A and B are shown apart, each in its own frame.
Chain A
Amino acid sequence: MSIALILLIIVPLATAILIPFVDVFSNTARKLLVGFSTLVEFSLGMFIIVSNFRKIMDNTFYLTYYLGEWIPPIGITLSMDMLSLFFSTLISFSLLFLVIYSIGFIGHHEGKYYVLLFLIWAAMHGIVLTGDIFNLDVFLELLLITSAPLVAFKRNRNGTEAAIKYMFYGTIGGLFIFIGVVLVYYNLGTLNFADISQNFNTLSLFVRKIIASFFLIGIFIKMGIFPFHFWLSKAHSACPSSISALLSGVIVKVYVYVFIRLFWNVIGFDVLVETGLDHIILVVALISSIIGHIMALYENDIKRTLAYSTIANLGMIIAVLTLNTKLALLAGLLHVLAHLLMKVSLFTATGYILQFTPGHKREDLKGVAYKNMLVFVGFIIVAGGMIGLPPMIGFASKWYVLKAFMTDGLSLAAVIIIIGSIFAFVYYIKYIITGFKKMTLGPPDKFRLILTVFYRERVVTDIALFFAIAVLISGIFFKVVFGPIEGAVEVIQNPSFYIDYILSG
């Protein structure tokens, strides 16, 4: 029993509820509350790591918390193992810096913005920590309904359209997951992850196949994999850049976590192999990868290009995870980390750059490099990482992905990844060249002028640069994270470990 697990969910949830009341009295109090809760939440994660450091090093780390002291399989269990810890740390780390970025970036309706941001934080931690399949479904819906208002946050036509699409797709995805939950409960009479995992193989192959398909379709709709990717580019580009970074960098990774947890620890990967579904996932994910790159190549809007690049990279992650070898899982998790850092970094830098341009189109970016050279150099470095150039972390992760494909003899998949990288090179270099074109920036229009009054340039540039440096440094010292990632891979590959520590305490 560890009280820290429930606090990880309660702290942001309580902050979200408190902010409107504090906001009525004073702005300063609300800012202090936001800063304080962010620090508390971040240090809670750090506290878990520090106090269990020896166990993390020995790969025997796990924590559990039983809500209402009901011993599983009855009641809701919260649990944290290496896989949850990996994702939880990524979430806390990126949210800490995105909150600081938002302080300088948003400047209007800040009260509402932070309420939704903290609810998202609570939902993401809930998804990562929960050990109950219906609880997972509820947190997924909470994540959807709190991120959709932020998609429409600019209150223009584009944002509203994007949010409507996002809500329709997300709700239908949620319904498919709910049908999966219903089928699981009807057939097994339990909702606990470990209990399901223990008894799942007693069901007939047909039932297992149906359940796996429903979960798969639900998760893929929510994630934006190939046949269901229509909402993603619009939703991830219509919102303020800080939210784009959150959606494109962090929230899609939470869905990757759900995919891993359900299909390795709960349902078991055997069912996918037995029914041949893993080949279908591999093909679909590779198509998703190449289509994302092609669409990004033909796109003229910088934020939409970055959104399409998310589809492509997500396809790559899912494709490499389905190989189900130790190397492949390691490569997938490393690319989760790499893509999170790079995409958050690109969107934070883009958000800064777009403050000076009349629009989001490529022609509008002329001359932005001369406005603030340092941030633009950061943008170039991270774009290089996205392409897969050596000193950045993108190179390391792509190298391992290619290695995993080659060891499995899937050279075609490796070729697709390399072609995708060439496309990425082309579309990033187009924006970079446009940025260096000599041209005086016209006077910004009136609405933008009003926004820049609230806009604290210093904080925004610092965070954008920080993420660029993080991409560079982590590319050189990426072997440091191999220890935790190998621990996570061990958890993924041994469902029995997961069952044991939940059911036996």
Chain B
Amino acid sequence: MINNLVFVIVFLLGFYAILVKKNLIKMVIGLNIMEGAIFYWFISITDRGGMIPIVNGTQVASQMNDPVPQALILTGIVIGASTSAFLLTLIIELNKFTNSTNPDQIGGMIED
């Protein structure tokens, strides 16, 4: 239960950063916080006793941690890293044109 609560709070913190902060780099950090919340949540809710999933006779299958979520999260981390790297590149590029990182100058996020 505490895991779900932490997930919701941290996820909403990241979402708050994206909605409210007036700096594109802080918004990227908010995106990373949201991703981190999901990774933490996925790891914690699939935890089953913390044994390493290597079968050697004495291990009990029900106590082994499931390796699939860890593989998924590794992939997720790679995706998240590349996404934020590319976003930061774009922000540097925008900074060259306008000399600022304020999201309002690009029309904000909810205008077109």
Contacts and interface: CB of A to CB of B under 8 A. Distances in A.
The judgment on whether A and B are partners is yes
Interface of A: 134, 138, 141, 144-145, 148-149, 152, 155-157, 160-161, 163-165, 167-169, 171-172, 174-175, 178-179, 181-182, 185-186, 191, 229-234, 295
B42 A165 contact: no
25 contacts: A134-B75, A141-B83, A145-B83, A155-B93, A157-B97, A160-B90, A163-B90, A164-B87, A165-B106, A167-B83, A168-B18, A168-B109, A172-B18, A174-B79, A175-B34, A175-B38, A182-B42, A185-B68, A185-B72, A186-B42, A186-B45, A229-B112, A231-B112, A232-B112, A233-B112
Nearest to B83: A171
Interface of B: 18, 24, 27, 31, 34-35, 38, 41-42, 45-46, 68-69, 72, 75-76, 79, 82-83, 86-87, 90-91, 93-94, 97-98, 106-107, 109-112
B86 A148 contact: yes
A167 B86 contact: yes
Contacts of B109: 165, 168-169, 230
Q: Is the interface of B mostly helix, strand, loop or mixed?
A: helix
Most buried by B among A164, A169, A185: A164
A178 B87 contact: no
Contacts of B82: 145
A182 B109 CA distance: 27
Contact of B106 (A134, A156, A164, A175): A164
Nearest to B105: A161
Given A134-B72, A164-B87, 15 more contacts: A145-B82, A145-B83, A145-B86, A156-B97, A167-B83, A167-B87, A167-B90, A179-B38, A182-B42, A185-B69, A186-B46, A230-B110, A232-B112, A234-B107, A234-B112
Contacts of B75: 134, 138
A230 B112 contact: yes
Given A152-B93, A182-B42, A161 B106 contact: yes
Q: Is the interface of A mostly helix, strand, loop or mixed?
A: helix
Given A171-B31, A175-B38, A178-B38, A164 B91 contact: yes
Contacts of A186: 42, 45-46
A165 B45 CA distance: 32
A152 B106 CA distance: 14
A182 B35 CA distance: 12
Nearest to A149: B86
Contacts of A171: 31, 83, 87
B87 A168 contact: yes
Nearest to A231: B112
Contacts of B90: 148, 152, 160, 163-164, 167
Given A168-B87, A233-B112, A157 B35 contact: no
Contacts of A181: 72
A138 B94 contact: no
A191 B66 CA distance: 13
A295 B112 CA distance: 10
Contacts of B112: 229-234, 295
A175 B35 contact: yes
A161 B103 CA distance: 9
Nearest to A304: B112
A231 B103 CA distance: 13
A190 B45 CA distance: 15
A148 B87 CA distance: 10
Contacts of B86: 145, 148-149, 167
B31 A172 contact: yes
Contact of A182 (B41, B83, B91, B93): B41
B45 A161 contact: no
Contacts of A233: 112
Contacts of A231: 112
A149 B90 CA distance: 9
B98 A157 contact: yes
A169 B110 CA distance: 10
A324 to B, nearest CB: 31
A160 B87 CA distance: 10
A479 B3 CA distance: 55
Contacts of B24: 164
B42 to A, nearest CB: 5
Complex A-B, nearest 9 residue pairs according to Cβ-Cβ distance, in ascending order:
A161-B106, A157-B97, A160-B94, A230-B112, A182-B42, A141-B79, A160-B93, A164-B90, A233-B112
Nearest to A191: B68
A116 to B, nearest CB: 12
Contacts of A179: 38
Nearest to A307: B112
Nearest to B66: A189
A158 B86 CA distance: 17
A234 B68 CA distance: 39
Most buried by A among B24, B76, B82, B91: B76
Contacts of A155: 93
Contact of B107 (A134, A145, A161, A185): A161
Contacts of B45: 186
Nearest to A151: B90
A168 B103 CA distance: 11
A128 to B, nearest CB: 20
B98 A168 contact: no
